A = this chain, B = another copy of it.
Amino acid sequence: MANPPWTRRHIISLSDFQPDEYDTVLQTAASFQEVLSRRTKKVPALQGQVVANLFFEPSTRTRSSFELAAKRLSADTLNFAPGSSSLTKGETILDTAKTYLAMGTDIMVVRHREAGVPLTIAQEMDRLQSRVGVFNAGDGQHEHPSQALLDLFTICTLIDEKPSLSLLADKKIAIVGDILHSRVARSNIWSLTASGAEVHLAGPPTLLPKLFAEFVTSSISAAQPQLARRLFLHWSLEPAIENADFVMTLRLQRERMTQHLLPSLREYHQQFGLTHDRLRSCRPAVKVLHPGPVNRGVEISSELMDDPTFSLISQQVTSGVAVRMALLYLMGSGKI
């Protein structure tokens, strides 16, 4: 490939991802997507390496996706189950990570309820001069890089079978829902603004505070000033999705209700729920994304979710395996 060699040991955040890194991920994922269409879907890339899934916060879909990606690269996988763990015996998270390091783990895939845990583990691994790569599989309300990268891959491969970041340069993309609490939104804001797309955030003021939006914009300005001008904020759905090429809607946590951040799920759906009707103001070829799992009838109507003309939800899951194979491969390839 024409891209420079991969140098990133850990995947923690997309905030400092460079355009050529996005392109390397996209192109590597495309080659693995091709592998997955073959009769033999496995490659020996990570044979003998160990991928440990340290999911301190339980998850079905993401853990299975990482596990399958690792297995298709021929890695051995270990699953850490927090319920039956030493954590209940008072061991710290770093001690757990160091135990898996000492066992010979090559890549740790970490999910935790608290923002910053994967970074803290990565820093400890570096301090110990280990060669372990740490992969943030979702940390609190901070980031979920592999989700944003699989969203990017899903969108780009729809536009061109050779995916690259620049394909989104003139697209309008809306992100709708609970922006404030969403690690998915945060990672997507980094990747989508980096692509040069127009990114429109929409949500009720309690879930998209002005202060938060200003913080995001100033963060992006600090990183890449020319991109911040392409981030827009809306407290209603319509202006965000008007003429949009893609609409990402986010999962609404039911606990937002009890926190008095929302009047009711029904009212939320009326204001921000996606339906066939609502999409009429978008571009005719508009596509809808959702990171899953979906609250049917809340973020999106059941009919729209199940309509393959508009919904990319199933493709997102499929892309997830290819993108995670690509990332594990890039992280691990320096070691083999």
Given the complex, which residues of B lie within 8 Å of A314, measured CB to CB? 98, 101-102
Copy number in the complex reads 3
A180 within 8 A of B: no
Over the window 67-103 of chain A, the binary record of Cβ atoms lying under 8 Å from chain B Cβ atoms (1 yes, 0 no) is 1100110001010110111110111100110111111
Chain B residue nearest in CB terms to A298: B90
State in angstroms the CA–CA spacing of A292 and B314 once bound together: 39
Interface string of A35-51 (1 = CB under 8 A from B): 01001111000011110
A302 smallest CB distance to B (angstroms)? 9
Which of B78, B81, B251, B320 lies in contact with A103, CB distance below 8 A?
Answer: B320
Asked if A293 and B95 make an inter-chain contact with CB atoms under 8 angstroms apart, the answer reads yes
- Across the interface, A80 reaches (CB within 8 A) one of B60, B71, B96, B316, namely B60
- Tell me which residues across on chain B come within 8 A of A55, comparing CB atoms: 84
Once bound together, how far apart are the Cα atoms of A108 and B109, in whole Å? 25
Indicate whether A205 reaches chain B with its CB closer than 8 angstroms.
no
| 8 Å CB interface, A91-129 against B | 91-92, 95-96, 98-104
| Contact for A92 among B40, B296, B336, CB less than 8 A | B296
A315 and B102 contacting across the interface, CB-CB below 8 Å: yes
Count, chain A residues at interface, CB 8 A: 58
A179 within 8 A of B: no
Q: Closest chain B residue to A86 by CB distance?
A: B293
Interface positions of A (Cβ within 8 A of B): 36, 39-42, 47-50, 52, 55, 58-61, 64-65, 67-68, 71-72, 76, 78, 80-81, 83-87, 89-92, 95-96, 98-104, 251, 254, 292-296, 314-318, 320-321, 336
Closest CB pairs A-B (n = 8): A58-B84, A102-B317, A91-B293, A86-B293, A60-B85, A41-B48, A102-B314, A40-B48
Task: Given contacts A36-B104, A104-B321, list 19 more A-B pairs with CB under 8 A.
Answer: A39-B48, A39-B336, A41-B104, A42-B48, A52-B64, A58-B83, A60-B86, A60-B96, A60-B99, A61-B99, A64-B80, A64-B103, A86-B292, A89-B251, A90-B254, A91-B293, A99-B293, A102-B315, A102-B316
List 9 A–B pairs whose Cβ atoms lie within 8 Å, in order of A's numbering. A42-B48, A52-B64, A60-B85, A68-B76, A99-B293, A102-B314, A102-B317, A103-B320, A104-B318
